[in-house]
Structure formats: structure tokens, C-alpha cells
Structure 1
Amino acid sequence: MPDSTSPAPVLARIASDASCLRRALRVHSADRDASTLAARITDAQELASTALRLFLTLSPQASRPSPGDLLLLHRVAQITKAAQDATAELTAALARAMENQRRQAAATSRRVVLIGPTPQQFIESAADLLDRIPALCDAISRDRPKSPCH
């Protein structure tokens, strides 16, 4: 029976999901529509939820956490933050895209002045944040001692 306290399977899923989402954001940037972007936001939210559930699962295990336990919790918190920040960036991209469409529809001339970061810039920022997650998962796996007795 696998060790129920081992975060390895969850970390592997988080790293895989983050990589898939990052690829989807970088590959399909030209043909982005609002519903696709909303689906990517949902994916990022699920990723953040999974990481936060892992944190909650691991945090009560040690009444007096060791430095290694604290490092693990810190890294899982960093993963959660990166996923939540990516969600926020994608949400900002969606809001900016909708604002741009609204301005273009309301424009009386053909030329519309758009200010601030573009939706694509927010999407690229989200992809950069997601890029960090597999490395953090790998760092946790490297730091966790393999215990054959558990």
C-alpha cells in the first residue's frame, strides 16, 4: 500500500497539469476567444485548489514541524500562490479582452485607443507563473527522503 502521507502522486499531477496548461496558453494564443480563456481560468483554479488541498493535508501531520516539514509546506504554498497568481492573470486577460471588445463596439471611428497591458501580455505572465510549478514540484521530490518503511 502506498504511503498516504507521500505528496509524490499529487505533486506529479500538479506538475503535469501546470505543464499542460502552460503549453495550451502558449500554443493557442492566436485563436483565443472568451470561452476558451474562461476554461483556462477554471483549469488554473483547479490547479490552485489541488495544491491548497495538498497543503491542508500535509500541514497537520507534524505537531512540531521539522525544518524539512516547513520547507515542504513553504514550497507547496509557493505552488499554490503561483497557480492562484496565474488564475488572476488569466482573469485580467479576460476582463481586458472584454473591455477591448466593448470599446471597439462602441467606437464611432475605426480607430480605438487601447491602454494598459494587452490580454496576450497577461496570458504570457500566467504562462511564466505556471512555468515555475514543475520546478517547485521537482524540488520537493528531491528534498523528500525516500522512506522504505512507510
Structure 2
Amino acid sequence: MPDRFAPAQILDRITADTLALHRALRTVAPDHAAALAARITDAQELAGTSLRLFLGLAEHTPHPSSADLLRLERIAQIAKAAQDAGAELTAALARSVENRRRRAEAASGRVVLIGPSPQQFIESATDLLDRIPALYRAIHRDRLLPPSPLTDQPR
């Protein structure tokens, strides 16, 4: 994180990195283990950056208002989406390697594969990543329409 805590810039970077990861997942072959491992690392970095942003905001707002808590909740949801996407990609990697092993060990040319395919795990990860830009927009929308201190309702 930079010396000066700049939550908006960090959130912008998280969203840009999410969109780049999303694009990369559209082109990665489910049986290319090294590419999947790199995308898992990308998702984990997104989650880590999101959690550091959460910690920074929590430290800068010792007595959070309702709006602050909503923003923290949404950033926690961003971290969860990134972590869950990483978990789905890890499942895709494990399933891909398992499928390759089964094919290599098969005495006959026929292999029965059970459970979701690596591609299904990758698609689940992209669905989870789709939440992050939506949460980003919600955070920015909340900043534009802060709650009124008197009614706790948008102005």
C-alpha cells in the first residue's frame, strides 16, 4: 500500500485487476495447470489487497457510522468474492490434474470422469468475480449519496 492511504485508488486498482483476471479466465484452457495456478495467485492477491483495504479503512474510522459500516461490509464482500473465486480456481486445478492422472493411468482409452469439470469451476469463479465491479459501483454510489446524519436515509 502507498504511504498515503488512498482507498479510492486502491478500490480502482482492485476493480481493474478483477476485470483483467475475468478476461484472462475467458481464455485459459482448463487443462493448462500453470495458467490456472497463475490465475489462482491473481485471485489471492485481489483478496489480500481487499483485506488490507478493509483493515486500513477500519483503522481510519475508529467510530464508524452506518455508511462506514456499509462500505466496510461491501469491501469484505469483495474480499470474499475474490477468495471464493480463488477456491473455485483451485478446485479447477485439482480436478484438471486428477483428470489427467486418470487418463494417464487408464488401461483402456475410456475414462469415466465424475463431478464438475474444471471448466465449470472456472465459470463459477468468473461468476463470483462479476460481483466485484457491482460492489465497486455500489460503494461509489454510496459516496455520492451519503446518508443524512439526522435520518440515516439517503438525501
Distance 2:6 2:40 in 1: 28
**Would you say the 8 A contact 1:29–1:120 is kept in 2?**
no
* Deviations 1:37-96, CA, capped at 9 Å, x for gaps: 100001111111110000010012222210001001000000000000000000000000
Q: Is 1:14–1:134's contact at 8 Å kept on the other side of the alignment?
A: no
Q: 1:101 to 1:32 in 2, by over 3 A?
A: closer
- Conservation of the 8 A alpha-carbon contact between 2:28 and 2:35: no
Q: One-letter code of the match for 1:114?
A: L
CA distance in 2, matches of 1:31, 1:93: 7
Query: 1:135 deviation in Å?
Result: 1.1
3-state SS in 1 of match to 2:62: coil
Contact 1:94/1:119 (CA < 8 Å) preserved in 2? yes
Q: Percent identity?
A: 65
Partner of 1:34: 33
Corresponding residue SS for 2:112: coil
Distance 1:30 1:96 in 2: 13
Deviation at residue 31 of structure 1 after TM alignment: 7.0
- AA of the residue aligned to 2:25: L
Q: Cα distance, 1:145 vs. partner?
A: 4.6
1:48/1:80 contact within 8 Å kept? yes
2:104 maps to which residue? 105
C-alpha separation in 2, matches of 1:67 and 1:103: 53
The two structures have a TM-score, normalised by structure 1, of 0.89
Counterpart residue identity of residue 66, structure 1: S
> What is the one-letter code of the residue matched to 1:12?
D
| CA positional deviation for 1:17 | 0.5
Q: Specify every segment of 5 or more residues in structure 2 that has no aligned partner in the other structure, as ranges.
A: 146-155
> Is the alpha carbon distance of 1:46 and 1:29 closer, same or farther for their aligned partners in structure 2, counting shifts above 3 Å?
same
**Offset at residue 29 of structure 1 (A):** 3.8
| Contact map agreement 2:39 2:89 (CA 8 A) in 1 | yes
Deviation at 1:6, TM superposition (A): 4.6
Aligned residues: 142
TM-score, normalization: structure 2?
A: 0.87
Whole-Å separation in 1 of the counterparts to 2:32 and 2:131: 26
Deviation at 1:5, TM superposition (A): 5.2
Question: In the alignment, which residue of structure 2 is the partner of 1:132?
Answer: 131
> 1:19 aligned to 2:28?
no
Q: Distance in 1 between matches of 2:10 and 2:138?
A: 14
